[in-house]
């Protein structure tokens, strides 16, 4: 096999996510690129969880509908997913709890009990059985388990070895080389991107699917030296971040739709006070609570228009871990360069998905020096300039009074009610927009792949981008991904679709929010491909859908 799709499923509490990550690392150790999707309901215990791991010889960011190897920890997994198995698929099941006339049964519970292990270690036994089925040497899988399972390592090794020796049926996957990169989730990539751009503080109230950023940065804060706070509400989150920024510290916050709703008043304050602030908006299904552990791309209009009043902002939407790292850094740096809020949009598929990223792509952003450190004349916090960007100082600064004002104000930051200074300050802030557009145009705001000469275009944004890249490559059409959504890269998008005879747009919302934005800028969308069931489209579903429509 040159490609392999594995599904491991069980109940919440069975460690399905961790098991999926270890399986992904098994594949990277054999030289394959990997993408992993984790599906789970909003339950602490019970329910049905599964991880879908796809290994390929090329970079990948989507999974297939069909399964090559099914690992059933419980009867529900077999019942729900057996129909998706290929005719020659290998099924390995827990014979202590699952009855089946097909496949290979391994007594996971018995193995764990014989080795006096914990119930969750049944997933270790399943990993051992899988490694045997793939034709791996014991030493190779033992090395991975030792690295990944730092607690009770010897017991886990004993359990995995017992299952490894019992598994007889094979579906061998050949080694194709050394590992092509590191496995990193979207949330981890965002965290590292922020750190690379000089992040000083991260503030968040846990809200899936953004919580992984909070956990990652908190766990590594002793190494990075940044401040990580978990306050009592999202309102506290954003106002703390703005206080840190006023004091000269680069701060970012993370949330999802409901939390972002609560942040909008303070977001407007950042706009009026010209406070640099980066918001990570990790989308999930809505409205309201919706299905909080499933995906959506339905907050785009909200992000662009959130808050009251007019003020400049950036909105970015990376598509995979590599782009998440790069654009998280850009979001923080550009926010400080222009003293405006920046919003980095992810979604559940990207935030919690696992991708193979070559380590050379994780390059640090050059540090910015934006703070005024001395003054020779009266300091004017909101001084009018040619580009609208005022000198930024933080207290204490000898000889300067530093005002940050959320009310209409003059150049010194003093509140005003007169028409002339209100108009002048608005014009001063809006000067930035042209320079913001120029800045992002230097950063390749639109990614084009596939067949650049095709007159059939497939537009996508966010986590659908790697899916559409692969589909376009397969079908010989052009894939277009705007990473910068606002200010909209109108020139680059028009150039990308210039010779298009047929344009598709795939997005995970009902109303076609990016399609509306494209058409508002004169870019015709012939066929909208909406999806709004909370699940990402699979690569085979998309290819079949497009083949049936391309003329």
Query: Among 344, 361, 378, which residue terminates a domain?
Result: 361
Q: So what's the pLDDT on residue 418?
A: 97
Whether the pLDDT of residue 370 is over 80: the answer is no
Final residue in a domain of this structure, among 107, 137, 166? 166
Domain co-membership, 235 together with 281:
yes
Domain assignment present for 176: no
Q: Beta strands 371-372 and 527-530: pairing type? A: unpaired
H/E stretch holding 215:
helix 211-219
Co-location of 157 and 193 in the same domain: no
Structure tokens at 448: 């084009």
State which of 399, 419, 443 marks the end of a domain: 443
Which of 155-164, 167-176, 319-328, 371-380 shows the lowest mean pLDDT across its residues? 371-380
| CATH number of the domain to which 50 belongs | 3.40.920.10
Are 157 and 28 found together in one domain? Answer: yes
Other C-beta atoms closer than 10 Å to the C-beta of 302 total: 18
pLDDT single digits (tens) 534-543:
999 999 999 9
Centre a 10 Å sphere on the Cβ of residue 401 and count the other Cβ atoms it contains: 14
Q: What is the pLDDT, as a whole number, of residue 81?
A: 97
Total domain count, the chain: 4
Q: Is residue 187 a part of any domain in this protein?
A: yes
Cβ neighbours of residue 143 under 8 Å, at least 6 residues apart? none
Shared domain check, 320 and 238: yes
Closest listed residue to residue 479, CA positions, set 498, 458, 507: 458
Band the pLDDT of 524: cuts 50, 70, 90. very high
What does the pLDDT read at residue 151?
Answer: 87
Phi, psi of 53 (to 5 degrees): -115, 125
Q: Are residues 339 and 439 in the same domain?
A: no
Asked whether residue 254 falls in the same domain as residue 231, the answer is: yes
Asked, for residue 418, whether it belongs to a domain, the answer is: yes
pLDDT one-digit tens code per residue, 320-364: 999 999 999 999 999 999 999 999 999 999 999 999 999 887 777
Q: How far apart are CA 321 and CA 356, in angstroms?
A: 8
Whether 382 is covered by a domain: the verdict is yes
pLDDT band at 503 (very low <50, low <70, confident <90, very high): very high
Which regions of 95-188 does DSSP assign to beta strands (E)? 104-106, 182-185
- Average pLDDT for 421-440: 97
Q: How many whole angstroms separate alpha carbon 439 and alpha carbon 484?
A: 11
In a domain, 175, yes or no: no
What pLDDT is stored for residue 1 in this prediction? 67
pTM summary value: 0.96
Q: Is the residue at 171 inside a domain?
A: no
What is the model's pLDDT at position 45?
80
3-state secondary structure of 232: coil
Q: Is residue 173 part of a domain?
A: no
What percent of the chain shows pLDDT beyond 70?
Answer: 99
In contact, 171 and 104? CB cutoff 8 Å: no
Contacts 24+ apart (CB under 8 A), 419-425: 424/384, 425/382
Put the strands of the sheet holding 478-482 in their side by side order: 446-450, 478-482, 456-460, 502-507, 527-530
Same domain, 415 and 449: no
| Residues 459 and 530 placed together within one structural domain of the fold | yes
pLDDT-wise least confident of 14-18, 185-189, 349-353, 479-483 = 14-18
Pair 190, 283 in one domain: yes
Strand order in the sheet with 341-347: 227-229, 201-204, 251-255, 277-283, 341-347, 314-316, 484-486
Task: Please give the full DSSP string across 249-305, using - where no structure is assigned.
Answer: --EEEEE-HHHHHHHHHHHHHHHHHT--EEEEEEE-S-STT--TTS-----HHHHHH
For all residues of the chain together, what is the average pLDDT?
95
Residue 92's CB is within 10 A of a number of other CB atoms, namely 27
Give the CATH number for residue 220. 3.40.50.970
Q: Count of alpha carbons within 13 Å of 110, Cβ hemisphere only? A: 10
CATH number (domain holding residue 479): 3.40.50.920
- If asked whether residues 161 and 279 sit together in one domain, one would say no
Q: 115: helix, coil or strand?
A: coil
Q: Which of 278-282, 358-362, 502-506 has the lowest mean pLDDT?
A: 358-362
pLDDT above 90 covers a percentage of the chain that reads 91
Q: Does residue 30 sit in the same domain as residue 117?
A: yes
Answer yes or no: is 210 within a domain: yes
Closest CA to 34 of 184, 215, 217, 201: 184
- Structural domain range at position 490: 445-547
Q: Are residues 435 and 449 in the same domain?
A: no
Place of tokens 């040497």: 137
The pLDDT tens digits of the residues spanning 112-126 come to 999 999 999 999 999
Query: What integer pLDDT is reported at residue 369 of this predicted model?
Result: 66
């Amino acid at each position: 096999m040159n490609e392999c799709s594995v599904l491991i499923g069980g109940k919440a509490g069975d460690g399905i996510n961790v098991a999926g990550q270890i399986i992904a690392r098994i594949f990277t150790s054999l030289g394959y690129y990997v993408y992993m999707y984790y599906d789970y309901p909003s339950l602490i215990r019970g329910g049905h969880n599964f991880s879908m791991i796809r290994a390929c010889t090329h970079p990948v960011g989507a999974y297939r509908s069909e399964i090559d190897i099914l690992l059933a920890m419980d009867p529900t997994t077999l019942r729900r997913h057996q129909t998706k198995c290929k005719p020659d698929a290998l099924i390995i099941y827990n014979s202590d709890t699952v009855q089946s006339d097909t496949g290979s049964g391994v007594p996971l519970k018995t193995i764990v009990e014989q080795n006096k292990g914990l119930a969750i270690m049944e997933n270790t036994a399943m990993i051992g059985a899988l490694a045997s089925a793939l034709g791996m040497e014991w030493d190779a899988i033992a090395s991975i388990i030792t690295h990944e399972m730092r607690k009770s390592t010897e017991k886990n090794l004993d359990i995995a070895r017992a299952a490894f020796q019992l598994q007889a049926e094979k579906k061998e996957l050949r080694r194709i080389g050394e590992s092509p990169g590191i496995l990193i989730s979207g949330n981890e990539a965002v965290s590292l991107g922020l750190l690379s751009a000089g992040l000083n503080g991260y503030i968040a109230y846990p809200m899936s699917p953004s919580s992984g950023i909070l956990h990652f940065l908190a766990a590594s804060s002793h190494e990075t030296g940044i401040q990580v706070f978990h306050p009592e509400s999202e309102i506290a989150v954003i106002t703390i971040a703005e206080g840190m920024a006023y004091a000269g510290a680069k701060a970012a916050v993370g949330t999802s739709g409901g939390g972002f709703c609560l942040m909008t008043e303070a977001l407007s304050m950042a706009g009026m006070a010209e406070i640099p602030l980066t918001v990570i908006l990790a989308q999930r299904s809505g409205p309201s609570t919706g299905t909080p552990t499933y995906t959506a791309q339905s907050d785009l209009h909200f992000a662009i228009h959130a808050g009251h009043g007019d003020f400049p902002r950036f909105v970015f939407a990376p598509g995979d871990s590599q782009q998440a790292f790069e654009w998280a850094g850009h979001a923080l740096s550009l926010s400080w360069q222009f003293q405006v809020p920046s919003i980095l949009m992810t979604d559940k598929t990207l935030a919690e998905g696992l991708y193979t990223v070559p380590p050379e792509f994780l390059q640090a952003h050059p540090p910015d020096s934006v703070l005024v450190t001395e003054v020779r004349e009266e300091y004017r916090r909101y001084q009018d300039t040619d580009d609208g960007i005022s000198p930024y100082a933080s207290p204490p600064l000898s000889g300067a009074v530093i005002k940050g004002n959320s009310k209409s104000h003059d150049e010194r930051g003093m509140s005003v009610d007169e028409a002339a200074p209100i108009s002048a300050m608005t014009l001063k802030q809006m000067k930035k927009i042209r320079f913001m557009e120029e800045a992002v145009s230097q950063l390749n705001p639109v990614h084009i792949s596939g067949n650049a000469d095709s007159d059939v275009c497939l537009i996508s944004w966010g986590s659908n981008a790697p899916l559409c890249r692969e589909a376009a490559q397969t079908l010989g059409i052009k894939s277009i991904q705007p990473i910068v959504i606002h200010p909209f890269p109108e020139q680059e998008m028009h150039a990308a679709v210039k010779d298009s005879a047929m344009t598709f747009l795939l997005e995970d919302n009902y109303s076609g929010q990016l399609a509306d934005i494209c058409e508002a800028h004169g870019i015709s969308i012939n066929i909208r491909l909406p999806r709004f069931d909370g699940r990402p489209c699979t690569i085979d579903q998309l290819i079949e859908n497009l083949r049936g429509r391309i003329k």
